[in-house]
Chains A and B, each alone.
Chain A
Amino acid sequence: MSQATTTRSFDHYFVPEPSKYPIFGSVALLLFGSGAAMWLNKVEAGPWMFFAGLAILIYMLFGWFGQVVRESESGLYGQRVDASFRWSMGWFIFSEVMFFAAFFGALFYARVLSVPWLASGDNEALLWQGFSSAWPSSGPYTPSRADPFTPMGAWGIPAINTLILLTSGVTLTFAHYGLLAGKRGRLTLGLAATILLGGVFIGLQAYEYVHAYAELNLRLDSGIYGSTFFLLTGFHGLHVTIGAIMLTVMLFRVLAGHFSAQHHFGFEAAAWYWHFVDVVWLILFVVVYWL
């Protein structure tokens, strides 16, 4: 180790000045959370507080990330700060994986355990006579059961969306290689194509939701199938949206001349995140739509 200490660079680690932004974020989430709770309980001030919180949050994110970008571009971040960003983005994505794991776990539990249990033994004999286990299921009794829903098929829009997301992973890697080779045109083109594909994906998902409600009678309250379908695809769609926003910010930074072949972790972090939502979609496609 003593050998390593002489070779490893221990440059001065950047510690930021006091910042006003965190307290804005805290006030934002206070308004956001209390506003949402009030809105859900029909308190008139609720939506106002909710949107006020959202506005402050957006202001905070702009200001905070803007400051980070300026600090990064002025060369304040050394190699060790870069390593910190890498560790933190990796573990942040892991925490997101665990968030999705909760919902995939719920889907697994419903398909493998709770629905078969409801259709067997005492449950079937005494409580829900005639209910047979099958997937998709809206359960033995739901208000919308009188008007049954049609499950979402896998080989229409979802299959196209799979191709779109896989393609977007390729275009993003194309952009990354462009950046590494110093070919800014390829970088811009690949990044713009990725954002475009992400936008098309979100648009098709929105269309699919309209289709589900309008024609398939598939709704949030369509029992456990509707619950898991909409929360899994909904949270995934939200994450695609966040990823697309991140990539858009990166595109603006590219156009502003940011990033070099050696120093571009902001781009990489957005790319990691994009690949993460890509992988989540693949699992989603298999267990939610296909099987």
Chain B
Amino acid sequence: MAAVTHDQLQGHQHGQSGLMRWITTTNHKDIGTLYMFFSFFMFLSGGVMALTIRAELFQPGLQVVQPEFFNQLTTMHGLVMVFGAIMPAFVGFANWMIPLMIGASDMAFARMNNWSFWLLPPAAILLLGSFFVPGGAAAAGWTMYAPLSVQMGMGMDLAIFAIHIMGISSIMGAINIVVTVLNMRAPGMTMMKMPMFCWTWLITAYLLIAVMPVLAGAVTMILTDRHFGTSFFNAAGGGDPVMYQHIFWFFGHPEVYIMILPAFGIVSQIIPAFARKPLFGYASMVYAVAAIAILSFAVWAHHMFATGMPAAGQLFFMYATMLIAVPTGVKVFNWVATMWRGSLSFETPMLWAVGFIFVFTIGGFTGLICAIAPIDIQVQDTYYVVAHFHYVLVAGSLFALFAGAYYWLPKWTGHMPSEFLGKLHFWCSLVFFNITFFPMHFLGLAGMPRRIPDYALQFADFNALISIGAFGFGLSQLIFLVAVIKCIRGGERAAARSWEGAEGLEWTVPSPAPHHTFEEAPVLR
């Protein structure tokens, strides 16, 4: 490894410096860093929208925003968090870690990698800028169901083009990851020796390639229905608004797994490291991820039980959905079995990973409950569903992102993150997360609808509590910002193998990882 340290202190690439370095970079580490800072910015933007929503819902009646603007906020909160925060953050992890984990010198297509990232700021400008056009931002919900989405103003057009651009970015990024994993592995790094994070991203990338074009098709049909007189989602012309829901959720359900499979990968890296045991049932983990991905194409209509479909369709989609609990259960049991009789220690990344298992599993169980068609018809579009998907997206995807960030920060910055701040961040987030989202189950079962700025008096106490929890959760994330900035600026020097039990090629290069690594492929044992 001595050969790779020569430009460790150089820190920048071939004469480019300042802003131009970041704009023109073809380095997977630089691009990964860009992805992560971008996603954190979007995370804060979406968070401000969420807190505005919670401020309005603190008590019944209309206090803070008008209903029209409230609808824009719920819509944009969803779009920004899904496409701006969670997905780019995972792509950032993929960029940084996959070449390091498989012993590759860079991503397979380094220039295209740059474009994949730099398409996101334009998309964000279109999306966030749409708040300032006449009629405001898109307000049809992040799902953009027809006919609402066919009726709105310019904000909807901007959202459609933003989705097109983000889709191009995602497809290029996904192809890059597929090719990197298939073609760039070091000699001896066979597929079944690959770290789980690479496996989960490989399968996620296939999902992206398969469904992002379908979303592009769906929003293109909305665009032509809006402006060119087509009748895809217009029953008078022989189309059907429900058809939009089918096409959207054919994208939308795999999308859910696009946001959770890399999280599974991160957790599968961290738990063995802090249990000081290899991952239990590695092969079954790979097959479970593949099974989840394949099943994800056959469950989309469980989002539509209340829209109306034949009983046979309801039964099929209900059982297909419940089948997904089997491979997911395999994963959860394997994580627990990895910890069983391990030599456990609970540094910050492990706390997040174990916290992930607890809270994500609650979200998984409410998912099973929602999968049961007769129950789903009761809870459709209530806060129960809001609680469910925040348990899997916040406590699942986001907690895993934090776990991964604390785990790999030493490799990225060369300094150990502060255990005190990390643990404070974890416990504040866990407590406030549950204060925020657990009562939503009760509200939903009691019948409070989602996406409504006002509500009946009997929901007031829980809503006040939820809003307090939400502000606590939102402010807790600033601890993360402080922890990351402190870690970049200094702290305890990190060893190459920053955590005692950490395994994998990424821990064989120095911390911080030099600008160029594995220019000569490493030799595996």
Query: Would you call B214 and A101 a contact (CB within 8 A)?
Result: yes
Which chain A residues border B174 with CB–CB below 8 Å? 91
Interface residues of B in 1-59 (CB under 8 A from A): 13-14, 16, 20-21, 23-26
Q: What does DSSP make chain B's interface, helix, strand, loop or mixed?
A: helix
A231 to B129, CA, bound (A): 29
- Interface residue stretch chosen among B115-123, B264-272, B360-368, B389-397: B115-123
A165 to B274, CA, bound (A): 60
Q: What does DSSP make chain A's interface, helix, strand, loop or mixed?
A: helix
Which chain B residues border A213 with CB–CB below 8 Å? none
Query: Would you call B115 and A139 a contact (CB within 8 A)?
Result: no
Does A41 count as interface, using CB distance less than 8 angstroms? Answer: yes
Q: Which of B112, B214, B242 contacts A98 (CB 8 A)?
A: B214
Does A13 count as interface, using CB distance less than 8 angstroms? Answer: yes
Which chain A residues border B126 with CB–CB below 8 Å? 30, 33-34, 37
Does A217 count as interface, using CB distance less than 8 angstroms? Answer: no
Binary flags per residue of B133-153, CB closer than 8 Å to A gives 1, else 0: 010000000000000000001
A109 touching B243 in the complex, CB below 8 Å, given contacts A10-B187, A34-B158, A139-B231: yes
- B500 to A: closest C-beta gap in Å: 29
Which chain A residues border B20 with CB–CB below 8 Å? 18
Query: Would you call A140 and B24 a contact (CB within 8 A)?
Result: no
A139 touching B238 in the complex, CB below 8 Å, given contacts A10-B521, A95-B213: yes
Query: Would you call A18 and B119 a contact (CB within 8 A)?
Result: no
- B490 to A: closest C-beta gap in Å: 28
A102 touching B218 in the complex, CB below 8 Å, given contacts A1-B188, A94-B210: yes
Which chain B residues border A30 with CB–CB below 8 Å? 122, 125-126, 165
Q: Which chain A residue shows the least CB distance to B160?
A: A37
A91 touching B24 in the complex, CB below 8 Å, given contacts A33-B122, A37-B161: no
Which chain B residues border A4 with CB–CB below 8 Å? 187
Does B209 count as interface, using CB distance less than 8 angstroms? Answer: yes
- A117 to B: closest C-beta gap in Å: 8
Does A36 count as interface, using CB distance less than 8 angstroms? Answer: yes
Interface residues of B in 222-254 (CB under 8 A from A): 224-232, 234-240, 242-243, 246-247, 250
- B220 to A: closest C-beta gap in Å: 8
A38 to B213, CA, bound (A): 24
A228 to B184, CA, bound (A): 42
A129 to B224, CA, bound (A): 28
Does A262 count as interface, using CB distance less than 8 angstroms? Answer: no
Does B157 count as interface, using CB distance less than 8 angstroms? Answer: yes
Binary flags per residue of A8-49, CB closer than 8 Å to B gives 1, else 0: 101011011111111101110110011011101101000000
Query: Would you call A138 and B238 a contact (CB within 8 A)?
Result: yes
Q: How many A residues touch the partner, as a band?
A: 35 or more
Q: Which of A5, A15, A21 contacts B105 (CB 8 A)?
A: A15
Residues of chain B at the chain A interface (Cβ within 8 Å): 13-14, 16, 20-21, 23-26, 104-106, 108-112, 114-115, 118-119, 121-122, 125-126, 129, 134, 153-154, 157-158, 160-162, 164-165, 168, 171, 174-176, 178-179, 182-184, 187-188, 190, 209-214, 216-218, 220-221, 224-232, 234-240, 242-243, 246-247, 250, 519, 521, 523
Please list the 8 inter-chain residue pairs (A to B) with the smallest Cβ-Cβ separation, ordered nearest first. Answer: A102-B217, A139-B238, A221-B229, A33-B161, A224-B238, A30-B122, A5-B187, A227-B230
Further pairs besides A142-B231, A225-B238: 20, Cβ < 8 Å:
A13-B104, A18-B14, A18-B16, A25-B119, A26-B121, A26-B122, A29-B122, A34-B161, A87-B179, A91-B178, A101-B213, A102-B214, A102-B221, A103-B217, A106-B232, A106-B247, A114-B235, A114-B239, A138-B231, A139-B234
Q: What are 15 pairs between A and B in contact, CB < 8 Å? A: A29-B165, A84-B109, A95-B175, A98-B213, A99-B216, A100-B217, A118-B238, A142-B237, A221-B237, A223-B231, A224-B238, A225-B238, A227-B232, A227-B239, A230-B230
